[in-house]
Amino acid sequence: MERARDPYERERLRMVEEQLVRRGLTDARVLDALRKVPRHLFVEEALRDRAYGDHPLPIGEEQTISQPYIVALMTQLLELSDRDKVLEIGTGSGYQTAVLAELARRVCSIERLPRLAERARALLEQLGYANVWVRVGSGTLGWPDEAPFDRILVTAGGPSVPPPLFQQLAEGGRLVLPLGDPVNQTLTVVEKVRGEMKTQVHGECKFVKLVGKYAWES
């Protein structure tokens, strides 16, 4: 999607070069998406001057927008194509959702907190993302009516892979999520190969808790 030039463009380009490329991220489509999506619009106005820094930021409701590197890394690990239908668990600010929408055919995003969902939906519509659907619900249950999904991204940390999400993952699909305890997790890639779960780990990370029937209670 074409974006008009804005006063934060230079910061956005610097973010990609200094925080992503220098750390070894190489997927050209992912890098282009992060060059395009106006991250500063997904944080409170008082925090916009910090939007492109190498850190997460609060977005209200005790939730955060992940640091740019983590957003890019998780997106790269999905190995997205423009034919994919993606399920995102944890819409949050909508920033990761917008990045996915730049790369995939369709993005279905679930947010358990109505205020965040409403804000993200309105901003994504304002920015012209017509391939995104946001709903309020319990992320660990997935979105059965839209399954199967080629890719699933979970933006909160849980103790294990929620069974409904693996069930809703298409054969040959990839699921990226943080797994561990409520404080520290390991970024994990799950693939469905002949109906079986194949996993790879990609380093330590820290996310807010995944809340729901198949994760933490609160």
List the catalytic residue out of 66, 81, 138, 218. Answer: 66
The two tokens of residue 184 are: 């520290």
Q: What is the mean pLDDT of the chain?
A: 95
CA-to-CA separations, 104 to 3, 29, 195, in angstroms, rounded: 18, 11, 23
Q: What distance in Å separates the CA atoms of residue 92 and residue 107, rounded to the nearest whole number? A: 14
The reported pLDDT for the residue numbered 1 is 47
Tell me the pLDDT tens digit for each residue of 152-176.
999 999 999 999 999 999 999 999 9
Tell me the pLDDT tens digit for each residue of 95-137.
999 999 999 999 999 999 999 999 999 999 999 999 999 999 9
**Cβ neighbours around 171 below 10 Å, total:** 11
The reported pLDDT for the residue numbered 183 is 86
Burial group, residue 159, by CB count within 10 angstroms (0-12, 13-18, 19+)? middle
Active site residue 81: no
Query: Euclidean distance between the first and final Cα of the chain, in Å?
Result: 37
Share of the chain above pLDDT 70, in %: 98
Q: Which residue has the higher pLDDT, 5 or 120?
A: 120
The reported pLDDT for the residue numbered 4 is 52
The reported pLDDT for the residue numbered 195 is 96
The reported pLDDT for the residue numbered 153 is 98
Domains of the chain in start order, with CATH, are 9-205 (3.40.50.150)
The reported pLDDT for the residue numbered 5 is 63
Specify whether the CB–CB gap between 182 and 209 falls below 8 A.
yes
